Amino acid sequence: MQVFPPIRQEVRETVPTPAPALTMRTAAAVTAALLAASLNTGTAALAETAPAQSPTVVSAALTQAQQRQQIASLFNTVNASRAENGFKPLKFGVAATAVLQDYVNNPGQDPAGPDSLEFSKRIRGHSGYAHHQAAPTTWWWEFNALTIQSGMSVIGMVPGTNSMHAVGYKYGTLPSETFDTAEEYFAYIDRTQVTGPTPTVSGDGVWGGTLTVDPGTWPEGTSFAYQWFYTNTDGYSWPVNNEDHPPVSTLFISDVDMRQKLSVRVTATLPDHRANVMFVDASDFIAVPGYVQGPAAVTTTGVAEPGGTLTANPGTWEAGTTLTYQWLNSAGYPLTGETGKTFTFPMDSGPAASAVSVRVTGSKVGKRDTSVTSPQTAVVDLNTVRPFVLVGNPWVDLRGGDAEVGEILTGYDNNWLAGTTLTRQWKRDGVAVPGATTDKYTLTTADIGHRITFVVTGTHPGYNTRTVSSDPTTTIVARRPQVQNTVAPSLIGTGLAGKPFTSTSGTWTPGTKLAYQWWSVNGVTHSPIAGATGTSFTPPAAWHGLRVYLQVTGTLAGYDPKQVQTATSPMISKNIVTAPSIVEKSWFAGDLISATVWKSGAALSYQWKRNGVAIPGATAATYRMGLADIGKTITLTVTGSLPGYPSASATSLPTMKVGQRSVIMTALPTTSWSTRYPPRVGQFLRIMSAGRWSAGATISYQWKLNGVAIKGATRSYYTPPSTAAGKLLTVTVTAKISYWRDASSTTVAAPVRR
């Protein structure tokens, strides 16, 4: 950014007493400088100083046609002169800089840079010095060689002299197009400008916040382009690097924006209209973020033993803080999936959870996260602290009905501490049955009139031996034939609330009477449904999330009854879709996100959304998050269609705001020179080591002299030419990873010796 000395603010409608005049070298230069007066160029001084003269103002007004003829004539004169010198013709357009100045002062060479100039639409008398202000403003010129009056625009002239000067200029808002001829330019400025409301900016203008531009309602067909700008504390503005902030209507505020004030240029365009360029203040100066204020320590309470639960006590945090939890193993690494406020030790803790701690992280817009980790809590070693503990008792599966001779009983050990040695014994009225030492036992005639128990004894080194018994069976009776079910009943239905389930009865022993009972399933709880004793059942909407099954009991005189049940139904839903579930974790740009979706039999379609707005093209079951998602929340909306039912949609809970990983440097680059042994002209220099960066980073180099990038010097080596002598040499090493924030390091500046 070019910085200019302050201006003395004095503006007049006529030409003031001029500053020292500037003598032009040639008549062609005078003509070219006159054109500069009518063009948006920034020429502060054009030639050597000449004695001051008092101008005579010529105020005869020109018609618009005369003005345009004069401008076109000057434009064509300059291009004719450029053609004689072998230069490219100039154009009307937005890219005008100091091309004309270079042409006047260096007529023997074609100036570098843009080759188009823009006519000024507002030229006024002004006295003072060269000056620059933040956009949008206007170029101002004063001349004492010729008078051109165009409305409020005036160029001053001193009759009988061939000198002129420009005394002040500012940046101006210019058309976005360029034109080859004056006629094309005039046709453009004669168009009606597209108009609409002043755009507004909303959001949090702090680190970690998001700013969003709303252009308002404009004529149909209007399109908008955006460019963000910085303004520093001295009042100077410049465009934001579009690699840091793409030119879109939203901006996520990060480290690169610190200590700058943000504004946005909104360009509205409509076919056959002039563009409308508006500048909108977007934020105050972005303060360097502090850290969220939290407690000095975090603690845990609870029972630290197999099966025990610890609860995090996060302490007191500043108002508005959002807390997240991550439990860590004994090595300090995260335990997968353990992101709640509580943690339950597994029955066999093992080395992964032999000791745990919890890391509590506080987040708040405008501040950096703060994390506090509790001390580690070790799981109690039950071998040395207490006697052997059994979780639950063994039990016997009678498979329904009375226990009869010939029936096979199955005993279940239930849960014991890992490494326990178990022995099993079936007992008849408390007396061991010889040889009955497995988990299966077939009832015999000797068991008639008695009750059977299943007894388990556990032994473990360092523990007290423990023996536990199941509840006794009913009294064993002689075997009767049992009703037979050769084809099991089955459910028919979709699982939609308000739509009935029906059932086939299956095939039974002839003459069997059937009774029906519907059961509900809520997690692990099974409950009979009052009054639901028919062959069909219609679940109400309130049963959303439950399941059902049908139990059929067959009875026949002289036979043992038989109970069978259908398979459990799908989960009952109010709709043909239910809200998909996204894993609750921290997501970053570049992550592939997916969700758990209920398969109801409906045809499903997917739409991923950013802050509730559909993401174009994101209609697959998974979605790769990009830079546009940073600072936003992501949801998935699933829409289902099923013949005979109305279409329905359901949306997941939003994720946390998508973050962006940063490339980290852990070692500085090293060079083949140093401040003690500075580089020399003609010396082969190279980067000995690019430093150490995050895994997978791609490294690039840029050599610089006096802080200015050397064109083409982008390898790890460089040989300074003689023109580098006396200048300061640096190398900027940049590391990039897709979707991550770039990082760079610049070597210490060293003077180049001859």
- Domains of the chain from N-terminus onward: 21-189 (no CATH), 200-285 (2.60.40.2700), 299-380 (2.60.40), 395-469 (2.60.40), 485-565 (2.60.40.2700), 575-659 (2.60.40.2700), 665-751 (2.60.40)
Residue 246's contacts (CB-CB under 8 Å, 6 or more residues apart) are 627, 628
pLDDT at position 78 is 67
Comparing 127-131, 646-650, 669-673, the range with the smallest average pLDDT is 127-131
Which residues on adjacent β-strands are paired with residue 746? 732
Sign, CA dihedral 33-35-36-41, equals negative
Pairwise CA distance, residues 194 & 171, whole Å: 22
Main-chain dihedrals φ then ψ at residue 184, nearest 5 degrees:
-60, -40
Decide if pLDDT at 624 tops 80. Answer: yes
Comparing 116-130, 612-626, 632-646, the range with the smallest average pLDDT is 116-130
Tokens 């043992």: give the residue: 560
Q: How many CA atoms lie within 13 A of 137 on its CB side?
A: 14
Decide if pLDDT at 226 tops 80. Answer: yes
Which range, 139-148, 574-583, 669-678, has the best average confidence (pLDDT)? 669-678
* Burial of 611 (C-beta count, 10 Å sphere; 0-12/13-18/19+): middle
Comparing 206-210, 382-386, 571-575, the range with the smallest average pLDDT is 382-386
pLDDT at position 90 is 64
Which residues on adjacent β-strands are paired with residue 528? 519
Q: Distance between terminal CA atoms of the chain?
A: 31
Q: Higher model confidence: residue 52 or residue 668?
A: 668
Pairwise CA distance, residues 43 & 36, whole Å: 8
Pairwise CA distance, residues 316 & 740, whole Å: 33
Residue in 110, 734, 632, 620 with CA at minimum distance from that of residue 365: 632
CB 315: neighbour CB atoms within 10 A? 16
Q: Higher model confidence: residue 177 or residue 361?
A: 361
Decide if pLDDT at 287 tops 80. Answer: yes
CB 492: neighbour CB atoms within 10 A? 12
C-alpha angle 381-383-384 in degrees, rounded to nearest 5: 80
For 390-449, how does the pLDDT look when each residue is reduced to its tens digit (9 = 90+)?
Answer: 334 455 655 445 577 878 888 877 777 777 888 999 999 999 999 999 988 888 989 999
pLDDT at position 31 is 36
Residue 442's contacts (CB-CB under 8 Å, 6 or more residues apart) are 406, 407, 408, 409
Residue 148's contacts (CB-CB under 8 Å, 6 or more residues apart) are 37, 38, 62, 67, 70, 123, 154, 155
Q: Higher model confidence: residue 591 or residue 35?
A: 591
pLDDT at position 515 is 94
Q: Higher model confidence: residue 10 or residue 551?
A: 551
Percentage with pLDDT > 90 across the chain: 44
Pairwise CA distance, residues 102 & 111, whole Å: 6
Per-residue DSSP letter, 287:
P
Percentage with pLDDT > 70 across the chain: 73
pLDDT at position 579 is 87
Per-residue DSSP letter, 544:
T
For 470-494, how does the pLDDT look when each residue is reduced to its tens digit (9 = 90+)?
Answer: 888 888 888 778 889 999 999 998 7
For 557-575, how does the pLDDT look when each residue is reduced to its tens digit (9 = 90+)?
Answer: 888 888 999 999 888 887 7
Pairwise CA distance, residues 527 & 399, whole Å: 18
For 390-405, how does the pLDDT look when each residue is reduced to its tens digit (9 = 90+)?
Answer: 334 455 655 445 577 8
Asked whether the beta carbons of 416 and 389 are under 8 A apart, the reply is: no
Comparing 179-183, 313-317, 406-410, the range with the smallest average pLDDT is 179-183
Give me the mean pLDDT over the 228-238 stretch: 84
Tokens 């014991």: give the residue: 416
Pairwise CA distance, residues 521 & 573, whole Å: 14
The DSSP bridge pattern shows strands 91-93 and 116-117 to be parallel
Decide if pLDDT at 165 tops 70. Answer: no
Residue in 424, 525, 415, 407 with CA at minimum distance from that of residue 474: 407
Asked whether the beta carbons of 81 and 39 are under 8 A apart, the reply is: no
Residue in 320, 313, 308 with CA at minimum distance from that of residue 373: 313
Decide if pLDDT at 191 tops 50. Answer: yes
Pairwise CA distance, residues 562 & 558, whole Å: 12
Asked whether the beta carbons of 428 and 443 are under 8 A apart, the reply is: no
Asked whether the beta carbons of 285 and 233 are under 8 A apart, the reply is: yes
Decide if pLDDT at 170 tops 70. Answer: no
The sheet carrying 536-537 orders its strands as 490-492, 501-504, 536-537
Residue in 222, 243, 239 with CA at minimum distance from that of residue 230: 239
* Burial of 588 (C-beta count, 10 Å sphere; 0-12/13-18/19+): middle
pLDDT at position 179 is 72
pLDDT at position 463 is 67
Asked whether the beta carbons of 113 and 97 are under 8 A apart, the reply is: yes
Length of the chain, in residues: 754
pLDDT at position 237 is 78
pLDDT at position 711 is 95
pLDDT at position 359 is 96
Residue in 542, 596, 536 with CA at minimum distance from that of residue 569: 536
pLDDT at position 723 is 94
CA 542: distance to chain centroid?
A: 37
pLDDT at position 735 is 96
Q: Which tokens go with 573? A: 């839903």
Residue in 419, 416, 422 with CA at minimum distance from that of residue 392: 416
Q: Which tokens go with 702? A: 């840029």
Pairwise CA distance, residues 669 & 732, whole Å: 9
Q: Which tokens go with 238? A: 């410049």
Asked whether the beta carbons of 310 and 301 are under 8 A apart, the reply is: yes
Pairwise CA distance, residues 667 & 414, whole Å: 55
Decide if pLDDT at 115 tops 70. Answer: no
Asked whether the beta carbons of 529 and 519 are under 8 A apart, the reply is: yes
Amino acid at 365: V
pLDDT at position 125 is 27
Pairwise CA distance, residues 670 & 684, whole Å: 15
Residue in 729, 747, 745 with CA at minimum distance from that of residue 692: 745
Residue in 444, 437, 435, 448 with CA at minimum distance from that of residue 408: 444
pLDDT at position 88 is 66
Give me the mean pLDDT over the 247-268 stretch: 91
Q: Which tokens go with 196? A: 């609409």
Which range, 24-38, 53-67, 347-361, 525-539, has the best average confidence (pLDDT)? 525-539
For 655-704, how does the pLDDT look when each residue is reduced to its tens digit (9 = 90+)?
Answer: 999 999 999 999 999 999 988 899 999 999 999 999 999 999 999 999 99
Main-chain dihedrals φ then ψ at residue 38, nearest 5 degrees:
-95, 0
Asked whether the beta carbons of 247 and 267 are under 8 A apart, the reply is: no
Asked whether the beta carbons of 652 and 635 are under 8 A apart, the reply is: yes
